Amino acid sequence: MATKSNDTYEETKLVDGVYYHQHDVVIVGAGGAGMRAAIEAGPNARTAVISKLYPTRSHTGAAQGGMAAALANVEEDSWEWHTFDTVKGGDYLVDQDAAEILAKEAIDAVIDLENMGLPFNRTPDGKIDQRRFGGHTRDHGKAPVRRSCYAADRTGHMILQTLFQNCVKLGIEFYNEFYVLDLVMVDVKGKQVPAGVVAYELATGDLHVFQGKSIVFATGGFGKIYKTTSNAHTLTGDGVGIIWRKGIPLEDMEFFQFHPTGLAGLGILLTEGARGEGAILRNASGERFMERYAPTIKDLAPRDIVSRCMVQEVAEGRGAGPNKDYVLLDCTHLGAEVLETKLPDITEFARTYLGVDPVVEPVPVMPTAHYAMGGIPTNIKAEVLSDNDTVIPGLYAAGECACVSVHGSNRLGTNSLLDINVFGKRAGRYAVEYAKTAKFVPLPKDPAGPIRDMIESIRNASGTERVPALRKELQEEMDKNAQVFRTEDSLKSVTKTIEKLREEYKNISIHDKGKRYNTDLLEAVELGFLLDLAEVVVYSARNRKESRGGHMRDDFPNRDDKKYMKHTMAYLSGDAKSDDAGDHIKLDWKPVVITNYQPMERKY
């Protein structure tokens, strides 16, 4: 184990009602990316992990299907094929240097987890078993391949538990149920650098300032901008919203992935692993309709393609059910043994939430908002960028909140659990490397002041608007007009709704005026982040007048490589470069890194 820094640290102190802490590395978020970063950083630096949840309740635990790696335990495979699938699946907006790192380091990432004790499913000869997943192919797209390493349909749960156990073993210091609400940035020689973060302690209502040499954001996604989503209630984009409010850009925010198989009307996820095991999507007449759209890999086409096909089947009158508003996932031919042993969670979900038994009847499904491809721009070292290529010293991001961009415009299935392990590890490694030579950046006077003022203004507000009603209106409008299919008119409708909700948000009030466990207060804060991020998603989507990956414009149905083979960069301040952006948002572009694979038509 490496020796930690010999620096002296101030003990936790209370000054004017605010608690102050010092750590070399401060990690915000205790999901897969945050804890993988902590495992890398903890033995080498004094590390703190701050989480709004108890770590094992983080949303990584909801991931079901698997983690991609070209182990070739079941079939011939290679990291080059994995790289190609990642680039092609992302509709060529993937930065290919990042995709190569992801695919190359995938093998070690899986072995690391195995050595930490993760109970993967096994082949008869004891190797890690692998199964098919959407978009995973051999020989650069010629046929499906078994690449997904899995633990039944609870892979994310097993990863989360394994990482947490290893953090405990290493003595990582956790601050659980602390909501980070601000990043303290300080001007040093004309550059804005991070000095620490400000957190609200749920149990007491106290404010804490965590001073750190390196700050790592690993706060997950923001799927709660939508009503129908597989995301947990806690995924309100706090980390991404904090970064946005500090004037740091966000990248490719228009690209949001809609997972094909959410329970109809609920959005609860049924893993793609079901289709990997052989489940079939059917319309009302029982037709396996994906054969018409993707004749080579059918139901295992990338998620953006499958989602659009499902919506199209319903739109053209071939939907099932009384209202013809969903399609069916047919698992009946798989048999009870496969469903109960390899897919126990989805079997239980269908029975519990819809009263449908997948063993004997097909399950109603429709796309659900699942994963944000965009987020905080980083390079391959997980360093956060203040523009196209300028590094903010000491600031890192990994996982769904970050955009490296390894997923491009559409994430390949099972690359999310891989991403959090590969780039979570890199974030921890480079954060420590920076902290070894860096000094603590002096904090400004009263660094918690802006957050204290914001909290008190919400607590004492006497307006007439209610947070749940505003949130519901935002989510329903996003579902209706900014989901799988989008047009200029639909996106303008969302823009107007957000503008109205922003005004109404100024007139909110909350029932709970207390300090201890005031979730009423925190939901009001979270709504502010949701409004910010929904607005960036919509403006970015209006500005990209093409269809690519998770972004489908009905009014611009074709991919346009001449105009749009580039990343969207959204900035909070400055004059807008696009007529579609508000006066407080500037939209710009960033080139895509292309190494080996030139853009070509996606055929499956």
- pLDDT tens digits, 428-466: 999 999 999 999 999 999 999 999 999 999 999 999 999
Name the pLDDT band for 602 (thresholds 50, 70, 90): confident
Residue 184 near residue 194 (C-beta atoms within 8 A): yes
Name the pLDDT band for 10 (thresholds 50, 70, 90): confident
Domain ranges of the chain: 13-62+157-256+371-436, 67-156, 261-367, 448-567
What percentage of the chain's residues is helix, strand, coil (to nearest 5)? 35, 25, 40
* Closest by CA position to 552, among listed 596, 490, 506: 490
CA–CA gap between residue 318 and residue 148 (Å, rounded): 32
Binding-site residue set for FAD: 29-34, 51-66, 238, 400, 416-417
Higher pLDDT, 379 or 303: 379
Condensed to tens digits (0 to 9), the pLDDT of residues 399-438 reads 999 999 999 999 999 999 999 999 999 999 999 999 999 9
Cα separation of the two ends of the chain: 48
| Per-residue model confidence (pLDDT) at position 577 | 45
Q: Is the predicted pLDDT of residue 552 greater than 50, yes or no?
A: yes
Residue 173 near residue 48 (C-beta atoms within 8 A): yes
- C-alpha distance from residue 569 to each of 86, 438, 506, 585 (Å): 22, 29, 28, 10
CATH of domain 261-367: 3.90.700.10
At CA 345, angle to CA 340 and CA 350, rounded to 5?
Answer: 95
* Closest by CA position to 217, among listed 186, 233, 194: 194
- The string of DSSP letters for 308-366 reads HHHHHHHHTT--BTTTT-BEEEE-GGG-HHHHHHHSHHHHHHIIIII---TTTS-EEEE
Distance of CA 441 to the CA centre of its chain: 30
Residue 371 near residue 179 (C-beta atoms within 8 A): no
| Per-residue model confidence (pLDDT) at position 3 | 42
Determine the average pLDDT of the residues in 7-31: 90
Buried b (16+ CB within 10 A) or exposed e, 44-82: bbbbbbbbbbebbbbbbbbbbbbbbbbbbbbeebebebb
Q: Is the predicted pLDDT of residue 203 greater than 80, yes or no?
A: yes
Q: What tokens appear for 462 in the block?
A: 């006497």
- In sequence order, the β-bridge partners of residue 41 are none
* Closest by CA position to 372, among listed 226, 269, 563: 226
* Closest by CA position to 207, among listed 215, 198, 218: 198
Q: Is the predicted pLDDT of residue 275 greater than 50, yes or no?
A: yes
User: What percentage of the chain carries pLDDT values higher than 90?
Assistant: 89
Least confident of 18-22, 41-45, 130-134: 130-134
- The sign of the torsion formed by the CA atoms of 170, 172, 177, 180 equals negative
Name the pLDDT band for 529 (thresholds 50, 70, 90): very high
Regarding pTM above 0.75, the answer is: yes
H/E run at residue 397: strand 391-397
**Catalytically annotated residues:** 303
Q: Is the predicted pLDDT of residue 190 greater than 90, yes or no?
A: no
Q: Is the predicted pLDDT of residue 580 greater than 60, yes or no?
A: no
Residue written as token pair 């063993």: 359
Residue 571 near residue 586 (C-beta atoms within 8 A): yes
The amino acid occupying position 303 is R
Condensed to tens digits (0 to 9), the pLDDT of residues 149-176 reads 999 989 999 999 999 999 999 999 999 9
Per the prediction, the chain carries an average pLDDT of 94
Residue written as token pair 């053209």: 316
Residue written as token pair 């290919």: 96
Q: Is the predicted pLDDT of residue 578 greater than 50, yes or no?
A: no
Q: Is the predicted pLDDT of residue 199 greater than 50, yes or no?
A: yes
Name the pLDDT band for 64 (thresholds 50, 70, 90): confident
Fold of 448-567: Methane Monooxygenase Hydroxylase; Chain G, domain 1 (1.20.58)
Condensed to tens digits (0 to 9), the pLDDT of residues 332-357 reads 999 999 999 899 888 999 999 999 99
| Per-residue model confidence (pLDDT) at position 134 | 85
SS3 state at 396? strand
| Per-residue model confidence (pLDDT) at position 249 | 97
Binding-site residue set for substrate: 259, 271, 370, 411
CATH of domain 13-62+157-256+371-436: 3.50.50.60
Residue 411 near residue 90 (C-beta atoms within 8 A): yes
Binding-site residue set: 29-34, 51-66, 238, 259, 271, 370, 400, 411, 416-417
* Closest by CA position to 427, among listed 136, 151, 49, 165: 49
Q: What is the largest CA-CA distance in the chain?
A: 71
Residue written as token pair 């500037």: 586
Condensed to tens digits (0 to 9), the pLDDT of residues 583-599 reads 789 999 999 999 999 99
Determine the average pLDDT of the residues in 497-501: 97
The amino acid occupying position 124 is P
